[in-house]
Every structure is written in structure tokens, then in C-alpha cells.
Amino acid sequence: MITENIAIKVKAVNDAQGTLKDIKYEIDASGRRIAVCTYVHVANSGISTYGLPDDIIPIVPVSTMFRYKPPEGLHFSITRRQLPLVPTYVFTDYKVQGQSMERAIIDLSYCHSLQSVYVMLSRAKSLKGIMILRSFPANKINQCLGQEFRNEFRRLDLLDKATKAKYTTCQSTFKDY
């Protein structure tokens, strides 16, 4: 997953998902390998770069500077340089709301509500794309909807009935004209 907006026009943006295809390294003066470029396939990005297959985005390290002020009063400026990528990623149910995925491995044992179960089960485009990581207690899915949601559905139902009644009254009033 890309963690910064790198190239918006080619979908290399924060939270974009892709497949790492290659990493290029240099050896520093201490003999350490330092990543200087990665090549990430982002489906349908539309990028076509000379010498690379379509939809392969080269991503280079990004420098970030921050200040550290310990209680003793000294000030430090720290600069780090790293690739704006997260090599593996776990999504919470909140993070994936509104997203569609080809495949999802889900762990229902950590769900705290029926809504969480619903979000996790509904992110994959098909049942074939869902794998449940481990067994989970049946009460995770065999439970009643929370009282606050039942109250909200009741409120919406009453509002719907009131709207229909008002509409019906207006329709009969306009028939007389």
C-alpha cells in the first residue's frame, strides 16, 4: 500500500494498493543495502513508462523531517528517508468501509458488533473472494441488532409513514383542482 500522494494522475496516492514487482538497492559506505527505488504494479493506473511494463509505477524514497524536544530543553532535528510503502497491511472494519476487494481474509473473532461483521463480510466482490481466518463464536453473527440501531430504524419507519401520509393527503387535495 502506498502511504503518500506521489502521482495523483496515475493513481499513486495514499491508500492505493498494488503489487511490489522489484526493489533496487545501493550499498552505502557501511556496507548496508539501501532501497533507492521500487516498482509497484497498480492496476489500471494508466502509466506507461519507457522500459517498464504498463501500470508499473517507480517509487523512490521520500525524506521527512521532524523536531524532537526532550524535557531537558535540547532540540534535535531528525530527517529520515524511506519508501512511502507499507509492505503488508491489515485493515480494520472502519478502514475498509466503502472499498471493494477481489479477496479478503477476515478474522471475525475480533468483531465487537454485528455491524463490524457485516462490513468485513461485505467488502469482497464475491463469496469466492472471502476466507475466514479461524473459527469464531456463533454469537458473533447470531445476535440482535443493537438497541440504538433498532431505535433509528423505528424512527426512520415512522418518518416514512408520515411522509407517505402527507404525500397521499397532498395528492387527494390536488385531484380536486
Residue 177 has pLDDT above 60, yes or no: no
Q: What is the pLDDT of residues 95-116, one digit of tens each?
A: 777 788 888 888 888 888 888 8
| 1 touches 15 (CB < 8 A) | yes
Where does the pLDDT of residue 21 fall: very low under 50, low under 70, confident under 90, or very high at 90 and above?
very high
Q: What is the pLDDT of residues 38-86, one digit of tens each?
A: 999 998 888 888 889 999 999 999 998 988 888 877 888 999 888 988 8
Q: What is the pLDDT of residues 135-151, one digit of tens each?
A: 888 888 888 888 888 89
Q: Which three cell numbers stand for residue 5?
A: 500522494
Pair type for strands 104-106 and 19-27:
unpaired
| 136 touches 117 (CB < 8 A) | no
* pLDDT for the residue 40: 92
What is the pTM (predicted TM-score) of this model?
0.54
Three-class DSSP category at 30: coil
Q: Which three cell numbers stand for residue 122?
A: 461485505
Three-class DSSP category at 31: coil
* pLDDT for the residue 89: 64
Q: What is the pLDDT of residues 84-93, one digit of tens each?
A: 888 766 777 7
Question: How far does Cα 107 stand from its chain's mean position?
Answer: 16
For residues 160 and 117, what is the distance between their CA atoms, to the nearest angstrom? Answer: 28
* pLDDT for the residue 175: 65
Residue 33 has pLDDT above 90, yes or no: yes
* pLDDT for the residue 134: 86
Q: Which residue has the higher pLDDT, 137 or 171?
A: 137
Label residue 42 exposed, middle or buried (CB < 10 Å: 0-12, 13-18, 19+).
buried
- The whole-chain average pLDDT of the chain stands at 86
